[in-house]
Amino acid sequence: MEHKQQEMVRFEKAQGGQFRWVAVTALLLAIGAILHLVTPNVGGVTPNWTIAMYCIAINLTRPSLGQAAGIGLVAGAVNIPTSKSAFPYGNLASELVGALICAAIVNSAVNFTVGRFNFRPAVCALISTLGSGFTFITILKLVLSLPMTVYLYAMVPVVLAVAAVNTIITQLLYFPAQKLFAAKGGQ
* Dihedral sign (CA 69, 74, 77, 79): negative
Give residue-wise pLDDT tens across range 113-135: 999 899 999 999 999 999 999 99
pLDDT value for 15: 54
CATH number for 143: 1.10.1760
Establish if 8 belongs to a structural domain. no
Q: What is the mean pLDDT of residues 154-173?
A: 96
CA distance linking residue 156 with residue 10, whole number of Å: 56
CA distance linking residue 171 with residue 25, whole number of Å: 17
More confident site: 44 or 150: 150
CA distance linking residue 78 with residue 60, whole number of Å: 20
CA distance linking residue 176 with residue 179, whole number of Å: 5
Establish if 57 belongs to a structural domain. yes
Q: Is residue 32 predicted with pLDDT exceeding 90?
A: no
| Domain encompassing residue 56 | 20-40+47-183
Q: How many domains does the chain have?
A: 1
CA distance linking residue 61 with residue 167, whole number of Å: 19
Mean pLDDT is highest, among 12-21, 42-51, 67-76, for 67-76
Give residue-wise pLDDT tens across range 55-72: 999 999 999 999 999 999
Establish if 2 belongs to a structural domain. no
Q: Is residue 19 predicted with pLDDT exceeding 90?
A: no
Give residue-wise pLDDT tens across range 71-115: 999 999 998 988 878 899 999 999 999 999 999 999 998 989 999
Cα angle 107, 63, 131; round to 5: 65
Establish if 12 belongs to a structural domain. no
pLDDT value for 18: 65
Establish if 164 belongs to a structural domain. yes
Establish if 84 belongs to a structural domain. yes
Three-state secondary structure of the chain? CCCCCCCCCCCCCCCCCCCHHHHHHHHHHHHHHHHHHHCCCECCECCCHHHHHHHHHHHHHCCCHHHHHHHHHHHHHHHHHHCCCCCCCHHHHHHHHHHHHHHHHHCCCCCCEECCEECHHHHHHHHHHHHHHHHHHHHHHHHHCCCHHHHHHHHHHHHHHHHHHHHHHHHHHHHHHHHHHHHCCCC
More confident site: 94 or 186: 94
Contact (Cβ atoms closer than 8 angstroms) between residue 136 and residue 94: yes
Predicted confidence band of residue 36 (pLDDT cuts 50, 70, 90): confident
Give residue-wise pLDDT tens across range 130-151: 999 999 999 999 999 999 999 9
- The pTM for the full model equals 0.85
Q: What is the mean pLDDT of residues 15-40?
A: 80
Q: Is residue 10 predicted with pLDDT exceeding 70?
A: no
Establish if 9 belongs to a structural domain. no
